[in-house]
Structure 1
Amino acid sequence: MFHRFKKYGAVIAIGSFFLFYFFFMKDNPKDEANLTPNSFPEASNQTEEKNEQSKSLEKIIVDIKGNVVKPGIYEMAHDARVHEAIDLAGGFNEKAEQTAINLAQKIQDEMVIYVPAQGEVEQSQVNLSDSDSNQSKIRINSATADEIESLNGIGPSKAQAIIDYREENGLFQSVEDLLEVPGIGEKTLENLKEDIQVP
């Protein structure tokens, strides 16, 4: 009987070991811990590449001309202001007509910032246009509220609506995009489209 008990005891011990091993491995969090994002280098590399692409999209190019210390083409942050561009170009020189420049204006990609000399005809805008016919037009993507209000049929509320739409949805790509702005209809657009420039 003692040998029989010893035989069954060994069987029970072995069975208990396997049961313990099975449940221990089932609940062991090591396997789950190994399935972290760090275990997938390809996914991490893709994330890093997307971040780099996003950073590159935040840079824009501006052309600074006229009466600054170092005229030239500069790379800047997408949310920079004109005063930062002037500082980057070394500041105004002694001939600059500083009052002709809106230093608080936001810059945009491919923008030309021209600083006139004292005695030159004051310009209502910072940007230079490609042709004389466009020099008096309002650049709707960079115009201030006061400049937009100077347009035919545009009051303070519509001017603010244009600016709000521009900031929330990005720059206008065509004149017709203004129809998406609340309060701007076909008739209003017809009255002002000859006086604005997009982009």
Structure 2
Amino acid sequence: MLDFLKKNFLFIVIAVAVVFILFLNNDKVKENDVHSNKVSLQTPAVSKEKEENVSSAAVVDVKGAVVNPGVYEVSLESRVNDVIALAGGFTKNADQTMVNLAQKVQDEMIILIPRKGDPTVSAAQSGGSGARKIRINYASQEEIETLNGIGPSKAQAIIQYRDEFGLFKSTEDLLEVPGIGEITLQNLEDRIQIP
């Protein structure tokens, strides 16, 4: 046997070296696979975190009688009052009675602060043809019933749809409400505001 080992020593050493190299390479491949899996598992978490940050903010356009009108990014938990504070507050001639300061903001919302004596405000208060727009996402049944072609049953259907499926994103979403067709929507478009 000793004689066999002496004659084949070189082959045995080479065979052990090959097995050793293969064993080390296999461990490195496994380590790289584990590292790749960790990276791929972490990637969705990072993108999910970004999505949560995006979805928890609203971009709001503040116009009219505020010190610094403009576009502001705020939390979706913010109220109109918070956004007006960011805009520097009301000017001296702002008509604060026409604004719901407690309303929660939503993305792409326009907050228009009228000035005292503004003709569009006077027309809205007197119920003239230039009456203010109804914010369909927040309007009461009575407010919705003031719209052309909307009676109690259609107003209730609008509110029920809004409660079940969430806020309307566009005027076309009203077509999903039972009883609202193209013609009714055309009559409403000038009198409703979304958001």
The interval holding the TM-score normalised by the smaller chain is 0.5 to 0.7
- Cα distance per residue 1:151-189 (max 9 Å; x no partner): 13434554344234235424435545324324x244xx6
Q: Is residue 151 from structure 1 mapped to residue 144 from structure 2 by the alignment?
A: no
Structure-2 separation of matches of 1:175 and 1:63: 19
* TM-score (structure 2 length as normaliser): 0.59
Q: Is residue 58 from structure 1 mapped to residue 56 from structure 2 by the alignment?
A: yes
* TM-score (structure 1 length as normaliser): 0.58
- Cα distance per residue 1:108-140 (max 9 Å; x no partner): 33332221222223175xxxxxxxxx9855453
Unaligned runs of 5+ residues in structure 2 are: 1-36, 125-129
For residue 70 of structure 2, the aligned residue among 66, 69, 72 is: 72
Is the helix fraction higher in 1 or 2?
A: 2
Structure-2 separation of matches of 1:192 and 1:163: 16
C-alpha deviation, 1:106, in angstroms = 4.0
**Number of aligned pairs?**
151
What does residue range 30-41 of structure 1 map to in structure 2 within 5 Å? 40-41=38-39
For residue 188 of structure 2, the aligned residue among 169, 174, 195 is: 195
**Structure 1 vs Structure 2: percent identity of aligned residues?**
48
- Cα distance per residue 1:45-90 (max 9 Å; x no partner): 3123212212212322112122223222101223543222212222
Go from structure 1 to structure 2 and tell me whether the alpha carbon gap of 1:175 and 1:63 turns closer, same or farther (over 3 Å shift): closer
Q: In structure 2, the residue corresponding to 1:117 is in which secondary structure?
A: coil
Moved more, 59-68 or 189-198: 189-198
Unaligned runs of 5+ residues in structure 1 are: 1-38, 125-133
Go from structure 1 to structure 2 and tell me whether the alpha carbon gap of 1:107 and 1:144 turns closer, same or farther (over 3 Å shift): farther
For residue 89 of structure 2, the aligned residue among 87, 91, 115 is: 91
Go from structure 1 to structure 2 and tell me whether the alpha carbon gap of 1:150 and 1:192 turns closer, same or farther (over 3 Å shift): farther
Structure-1 separation of matches of 2:92 and 2:73: 25
Is contact 2:133–2:193 with CA below 8 Å preserved after alignment?
no
Go from structure 1 to structure 2 and tell me whether the alpha carbon gap of 1:173 and 1:91 turns closer, same or farther (over 3 Å shift): closer
2:48 aligned partner, one-letter code: K
Structure-2 separation of matches of 1:51 and 1:79: 18
Go from structure 1 to structure 2 and tell me whether the alpha carbon gap of 1:57 and 1:157 turns closer, same or farther (over 3 Å shift): same
Go from structure 1 to structure 2 and tell me whether the alpha carbon gap of 1:103 and 1:171 turns closer, same or farther (over 3 Å shift): same
Q: In structure 1, the residue corresponding to 2:93 is in which secondary structure?
A: coil
Go from structure 1 to structure 2 and tell me whether the alpha carbon gap of 1:178 and 1:72 turns closer, same or farther (over 3 Å shift): closer
Go from structure 1 to structure 2 and tell me whether the alpha carbon gap of 1:170 and 1:73 turns closer, same or farther (over 3 Å shift): same
Structure-2 separation of matches of 1:160 and 1:109: 25
Is contact 1:95–1:118 with CA below 8 Å preserved after alignment?
yes
Q: Is residue 162 from structure 1 mapped to residue 158 from structure 2 by the alignment?
A: yes
